[in-house]
Structure 1
Amino acid sequence: MKYKVLCSDLDGTLLSTKSDVSDFTISEINRIKSKLRIVLVSARMPRGMNYLQRRLSIEDQPLISYNGALVVDNEKTIASTEIDIQLLKEIYSLAEKHSIGLGLYSGDEWYVEENTERVRKEIRYTQTTPVFRSTEESLDDWKERSVGAHKIMLMGTANTANAISPELSEHFSDHLNIYRSNDTLIEIAPKAVSKLTAIKLLLKKDETMEDVISFGDNYNDIEMLQHSGLGVAVGNAREEVKAIANAIALPNTEHGVADYIQRHLVF
């Protein structure tokens, strides 16, 4: 089957390192980009994806950021779903109780309180820089501007993340998607959206999800892979992701997406 859209997660999937795509990946994307649309799909903010679009020479393509909470096409916003300020304040209050810091994201805005090692890693990996100010100041500013969050990052320790997780689920799971990025990080996003819902917004009238080939590695990629015409898990993907995938590629550090494209997408 000839696919019309290629959607790929970034971290742990298309990126061969923590912050960049390989020359092999660039070459393969350039080979096929006139034959099908290339859409980057990530939990990152747009600013943390734009440099990768430039590297791949696909700046004319739309972006799905924040796991589907914000879909943009160049300067145009296709869809935006935010966590409202009241929920933000409730999450902040609970995080304070557990001595957990927050990263607040909206559009290309990113606010944190402290320059921690976790924040420095994010700066290195995404080539973006946050504004350092108190969470209270950020929330007051957003309330004044009627701005909500596209994503919240809770940054604690393994112990504090373990302690807050059940409370987050109990109080917010009806309205928000809550998942552990790793032992110390918890990401929160609007529940009404996902990578899959965002991809569907970008399909043309004569296209369905059967026309999509997608690549991923983590829990937030499962729905996207399950509903694509072909869902491919990279070799380093979580076992639950591999279990639902139609195919398994090489690990991301071995340029799994590019290798799969080279071997299977022949025009």
Structure 2
Amino acid sequence: MKYKILCSDLDGTLLSTKSDVSESTISEINKIKSAVRTILVSARMPRGMRYLQRRLGIEEQPIICYNGALIIDGDEIITSTEIAIDHVKEIFAMANVRQIKLGLYHNDEWYVEENTERVRKEIRYTQATPVFRDTEASILDWSNRGLGAHKIMLMGTKDTSDAIYPELEERFSKDLNLYRSNDTLIEIAPKSVSKLTAIQKLLQENETMEDVISFGDNYNDVEMIQYSGYGVAVGNAREEVKAVSNFVTLPNTEDGVAVFLKEHPLV
């Protein structure tokens, strides 16, 4: 198999645990990284991706963060697409009525109000630490600095999330992507970007999506898998991802990406 670029999702795909890649995965990436550009593509913030880049020895490659809302190459921002601060304010007002807490993300900034179990899990899994302060203070700070959000996380209960989701869809479906992470979490991102659009921005001269092999597991990976030259779903992937993939490998907990690379050499 000959491809110029390998793009992989992290959580549930390349990571064999909640927070790290296996030695087997590191070994397989080391075999190809001089010939195949290996690009990490995630909903994570930059800090939650860079330590994995170091583990894999691919720090010289760009990273696609926040599902494509932010692309960084070293210290250089390639593209940045934000949720307008007015939308952030409106979402906060809607969430506040139902006592739903917000996580606000911009580049490597992460703000939350409370040190909840959900927040502690993210700290453990991503090796990133938030700043704890009132959401109103964070929004005022961003307003003064002319910033918006690369991602908003709504953290409620199943009942409050069930109630607010259709309201958010009705109000923001034209401008924002809404993604139900689980029963209690709703992720919000800019509508105009995706993992696919971000990868397309990183294609070099004489490269197309046919030169890309990609790996994923979740709804936000469907486009990337579908339009790559070769798309691989891990065994634990959503059925919608498997349906558009060229191949289904083992689950992430069984090193599905590494096993695929070992059995189907790219170089």
| 1:68-217 alignment, distance < 5 Å | 68-217=68-217
Work out the CA distance in 1 between the residues paired with 2:85 and 2:266: 48
Cα offset, 1:264, TM superposition? 0.6
Equivalent position SS for 2:152: strand
User: Aligned AA for 1:249?
Assistant: T
Cα offset, 1:266, TM superposition? 4.4
CA offset digits 1:152-185 (Å, max 9, x no partner): 0000111111111100100001000001011111
Work out the CA distance in 2 between the residues paired with 1:159 and 1:218: 23
Work out the CA distance in 2 between the residues paired with 1:255 and 1:205: 33
Work out the CA distance in 1 between the residues paired with 2:155 and 2:119: 9
Work out the CA distance in 1 between the residues paired with 2:266 and 2:48: 30
Cα offset, 1:235, TM superposition? 0.1
Aligned length: 267
Structure 1 stretches (4+) deviating beyond 6 angstroms? none
1:249 is matched with which residue? 249
User: Aligned AA for 1:167?
Assistant: E
Report the CA distance shift for 1:266/1:65 in structure 2 as closer, same or farther (over 3 A): closer
* Two-structure CA RMSD over aligned residues (Å): 0.6
| TM-score normalised by the chain length of structure 2 | 0.99
User: Aligned AA for 1:235?
Assistant: G
Contact kept? 2:69, 2:194, Cα under 8 Å: yes
1:43 is matched with which residue? 43
Unaligned runs of 5+ in 2: none
Equivalent position SS for 2:2: coil
Q: Quick check: 1:30 aligned with 2:43?
A: no
Unaligned runs of 5+ in 1: none
Sequence identity percentage: 71
Work out the CA distance in 2 between the residues paired with 1:230 and 1:97: 45
Work out the CA distance in 2 between the residues paired with 1:72 and 1:114: 29
Q: Quick check: 1:67 aligned with 2:80?
A: no
2:239 is matched with which residue? 239
